Amino acid sequence: MADLRTSTRRGALAPAWALWTVVFVVAFGTNVPTPLLLVYRDTLGLAPTTLTAAFGVYAAGLIPALLLSGPASDRLGRRPVVVPFVVLAGLVSVLFLAAGSSVLVLFLGRFLQGAVSGVVFSVGTAWLGELVGEPGRSARLTTIALAMGWALGPLVAGLMGQWVVLPTVLPYLVHVALMVGAVALLPGIPETLTPDRRRASGSVVNLGVPPGTRWAFALVVVPIAIGVFAFPSTAVTVLPLLLTQQMSGVAVAVAGIVAGVTLSTGALVPPLQRRLGAAWSGPVGLGLGALGLGLALLSLVLSAWPLLLPVALLLGAGYGLCLASGLAIVARLAVPSERGALTGTFYACAYLGFGVPYLLSALAGLTASGSLAGPLAGLGVASAVVAALLALPAARRLGAR
């Protein structure tokens, strides 16, 4: 991480590196429950729609937190908003220790995880950007922190959930231990938003979209943002669930591996985003996601669960490019006094993608066969069409403003 600033204090971690680590550890915890949903399905007797709802309720806690925390940090500063929620992230993992025997605790835990993530990811992104200083570089570093955390959490949980005792307990204890180290780093991270740069007043909810960039945000940033989590959420919930019967004895581990591959691929694409540029990265990311959904359809038709690995690579690359592109565009559009608000708005749009698995499941229930093939095909076609539209010169110019 040569991009991160070095500390002037002997033996101390650079503040940007410390914050990067905190964001990574919080991200690690948010997807620990993902592969364990197959365990909860058996122990709690959950129906498929309930299972996808348990995954998606995360967004119900996250989106309000995103919209409220960004403006709050623009007025109060980054530290007072982020620090309490980093501590809460560890406490939520403690709460999950009881989720194996309670549907209510499972849903409550996911909701609180969303609220914690909304604050730490949006305000933490703005905070890290101010520590690093250069928008493109900070967007790539944030993408890597989030992608690595989101990937390793379900990978560890899936392997532990398949082959160790207490599968709904030990993965959360791993995260609690990591959170203890993350909390210890917080005192060394300085406040970056000095009083003279804070918003003196303003509405509680502030989208932070500058007046002259509203069309760019609505027509370019929002479609890219939705693609960020529509692809990985489909990969890590819908596809393993559909192919469970073909993965007897390894379903939980495969779910964790698919999640890990999908989300870790996002950590590998920032160099590609740098070469493509923000304007091209979004359309390319959506295009790769469309290809991944097409291959996913083939895996369902053939009942070939090994195809989930290349599906995960394509959907992961799509999500990573969309995330890096969106963050880079947002960093360029935002005014300094409202960077937290606009970053939160971007993440709020991105996390709408968490509702896609539930939407696909609901649409499948309306068909005579109950098959997900039709809804998945529709999502793939829509992704391809939007990718083509965003690749047009007019759209790329709009996103470059």
Query: Cα dist. 304→26, 246, 258, 262, 288 in Å?
Result: 34, 8, 14, 18, 20
Tokens of 278: 């923000």
Enter the pTM of the model: 0.76
Tokens of 180: 């203890």
pLDDT digits 0-9 by tens, 124-147: 988 988 888 776 677 778 878 888
pLDDT digits 0-9 by tens, 147-206: 889 889 989 999 998 998 899 999 999 999 999 999 999 998 999 887 767 666 656 666
All domains in the chain, ordered by first residue: 15-192+210-399 (1.20.1250.20)
* Under-70 pLDDT residues of the chain: 1-13, 135-136, 196, 198-206, 241, 368-370, 399-401
Pick the closest to residue 326 from 308, 360, 352 (CA basis).
352
Pick the closest to residue 143 from 236, 228, 56, 71 (CA basis).
228
**Contacts with 315 (C-beta within 8 Å, 6 or more apart), sequence order:** 231, 232, 234, 235, 262, 288, 289, 292, 293, 296
Quick one: pLDDT at residue 366?
72
Conformation bin of residue 77: beta by default, left when phi > 0, alpha when psi is -120 to 50: left
Quick one: pLDDT at residue 136?
67
Distance CA 122, CA 347 (A): 7
Quick one: pLDDT at residue 9?
40
Quick one: pLDDT at residue 389?
93
